[in-house]
Amino acid sequence: MVADDERPVFETRLHPASLAGSGIFAACVVGATALVVHRNPLTPTTILELWLAALVVIALSAAAPLARWRSSRFSVSPHRLMISSGGFRPHRTEIALARIAEVTVTPGLLGALLGYGTVRIVQTGEPAETFTRVAAPTALRDAILQYARGSRRRTS
């Protein structure tokens, strides 16, 4: 059981825009398959095989990005930031809020419109870690900084 002071006070994940590349690829596969079917005299069996092959290619290419999106989480508790990232084998990182020296958010033009951005986290004495296409990046930064200040006061 999780103690009350370790329950997440804020959670977010990767934005669905992180799946945009897979969507574009799927549209290209569908378009190419449609062109082949439309422009060639093919038997119904061949047409069915082409569409099935296109579906398999789309499913295989989307599996890893979808797994990465579903398993990624950014959780802020009063004392730590917990980051789960990865795809089929998620990696979990915990950072004590008192060790966080800097958090910056870069939304970009499309990110500002759709609510995602790049979050850069610097720990004291460690290299920066960067996470792209994070949903609600400003709220994540604000939660980290709010609880990091309180965590530093308690440890001082």
Give yes or no: residues 80 and 147 share one domain.
yes
SS3 assignment, position 49:
helix
Single out the residue of 99, 96, 103 nearest to residue 137, CA to CA. 103
Give yes or no: residues 53 and 100 share one domain.
no
Give yes or no: residues 112 and 85 share one domain.
yes
pLDDT, position 1: 41
pLDDT, position 5: 64
Residue 89 counted as domain residue: yes
Residue 26 counted as domain residue: yes
Give yes or no: residues 81 and 128 share one domain.
yes
Domain boundary among 49, 67, 85: 67
pLDDT, position 55: 97
Token pair listed for 16 = 């669905």
* Domain enclosing residue 145, as ranges: 7-14+72-155
pLDDT, position 82: 94
Q: How far apart are CA 99 and CA 117, in angstroms?
A: 23
Per-residue pLDDT 10s for the chain (156 aa) are 445 567 889 999 999 999 999 999 999 999 999 999 999 999 999 999 999 999 999 999 999 999 999 999 999 999 999 999 887 787 898 999 999 999 999 999 999 999 999 999 999 889 999 999 999 999 999 999 998 876 555 555
CA atoms within 13 A on the CB side of 47: 10
Q: How far apart are CA 13 and CA 75, in angstroms?
A: 9
